[in-house]
Amino acid sequence: MDLPGPVVAAVRGARRILVLTGAGMSAESGVPTFRDAQSGLWENFDPSQLATPDAWADDPPFVWAWYAWRLHLVRDVAPNAGHRALAELATHRDVTIVTQNVDDLHERAGSEVAAHLHGSLTELRCADCHEPYDGEPTLSPEPVKRLDPETCAACGGDVRPGVVWFGEMLPEAAVATTEAAIEALEPGDVCLVVGTSGIVFPAAGYPAMALAEGATVIEVNPVDTDITDMCHHAIRGTAANVLPALVS
Ligand code: BJW
């Protein structure tokens, strides 16, 4: 893919590159995004209703079934060319990856992820006593309507995924690491925003913070988003197509 010269020059000339990724980063690995056309169970349910403490309190087996299926799905897929390109870039450049994704595809491509802002699908913990759960959960290869969550060995409570639901606080360390990485940006550095709709805060506010530090903000997304207008460059394409060209 041919990219505009100023975009390539910005990436080549940057001392630091901060990469903020969202669900579109993993779409070409086969992980559905949240707000594009959905498949399976996602077609019938609104993630903003399902990914909430209220949904869990109302019906844990309903919510757990969604996660047991997604856990299975994520374990079954592989990083795509976009994940691999970022890992390769970090071998010779100062790259910091911050992701909203709860999968581990960046890590499986060989990247170190500085912050998982919305937690991790695989880090299960008790919803009551917060004890980590290190058993092997029963996963669902197909979407099902309800599935009993695993039980906490310490207190008998229901085990939940270690993700951040709407209305919950983000992990303090992830926020602190992200804000420090943004504050370290200087004019001439680059903030690459890949595959996010830019509607969920506080993550949606980070590109503007990078802009305020003087960084060149570059969006990689097939469509316009809520943050497009504030970006210096918007590259219309997919992560797996654009990133290998951008970082070569
Ligand atoms: C491709 C592609 C390809 C497709 N290549 N691209 C300020 C203002 C207003 C509201 C708030 C605010 N501050 C806080 C809030 C409340 C709330 C919020 O933001 N609400 C909004 C809906 C308005 N935020 C919170 O509650 C957060 N907590 C918080 O702020 O705590 C303090 C607080 C508490 C209470 C009140 C106030 C403050 C927590 C947010 C947690 C988000 N959790 C989820 C679920 C995680 C668990 C799970 O996975 O089940 O995180 S929601 C979901 O959205 C998930 C994602 O990480 C997140 C962002 O989605 P993302 O990644 O952008 O995906 P999509 O699907 O939206 O977009 C995909 C994009 O990819 C699209 O643009 C495609 O075009 C593109 N794409 N294919 C490249 N191949």
On whether both 223 and 176 belong to a single domain, the answer is yes
| Whole-number pLDDT of residue 104 | 98
Instruction: Provide the domain count of the chain.
Output: 2
Q: Which two tokens stand for residue 28?
A: 């070409």
Q: How far apart are CA 248 and CA 237, in angstroms?
A: 16
Ligand 1 contacts CB of residue 33 (under 6 A): yes
For residue 118, indicate whether it is catalytic.
Answer: yes
Q: How far apart are CA 19 and CA 202, in angstroms?
A: 16
List, for residues 14-24, the tens digit of each pLDDT value. Answer: 999 999 999 99
Q: Domain limits at 48?
A: 32-76+122-163
Q: What is the ipTM of this complex?
A: 0.96
**Which of 104, 131, 163 finishes a domain?**
163
On whether both 102 and 218 belong to a single domain, the answer is yes
Distance 201 CA to ligand 1 centre (A): 6
Catalytic choice (83, 106, 116, 118): 118
Could you identify the atom of ligand 1 that is nearest to the CA of residue 238? 5
Give 42's pLDDT tier (boundaries 50, 70, 90). low
Burial class, 241, CB count within 10 angstroms (exposed 0-12 / middle 13-18 / buried 19+): middle
On whether both 86 and 203 belong to a single domain, the answer is yes
Ligand 1 contacts CB of residue 140 (under 6 A): no
Distance 47 CA to ligand 1 centre (A): 10
On whether both 126 and 229 belong to a single domain, the answer is no
CATH number for the domain spanning 71: value is 3.30.1600.10
Distance 100 CA to ligand 1 centre (A): 8
List, for residues 168-200, the tens digit of each pLDDT value. Answer: 999 999 999 999 999 999 999 999 999 999 999
Give 145's pLDDT tier (boundaries 50, 70, 90). confident
Give the residue-averaged pLDDT of 136-153. Answer: 93
Residue among 244, 245, 239, 214 at smallest CA distance from 21: 239
Residues sharing a CB contact under 8 Å with residue 39, sequence separation 6 or more, in sequence order: 32
Alpha-carbon Rg for the chain, nearest whole angstrom, is 18
On whether both 203 and 215 belong to a single domain, the answer is yes
On whether both 92 and 195 belong to a single domain, the answer is yes
Is the pLDDT score of 247 beyond 70? Answer: yes
Q: How far apart are CA 139 and CA 151, in angstroms?
A: 14
Give 144's pLDDT tier (boundaries 50, 70, 90). confident
Q: Which two tokens stand for residue 187?
A: 């004019």
Q: Which two tokens stand for residue 59?
A: 């019906």
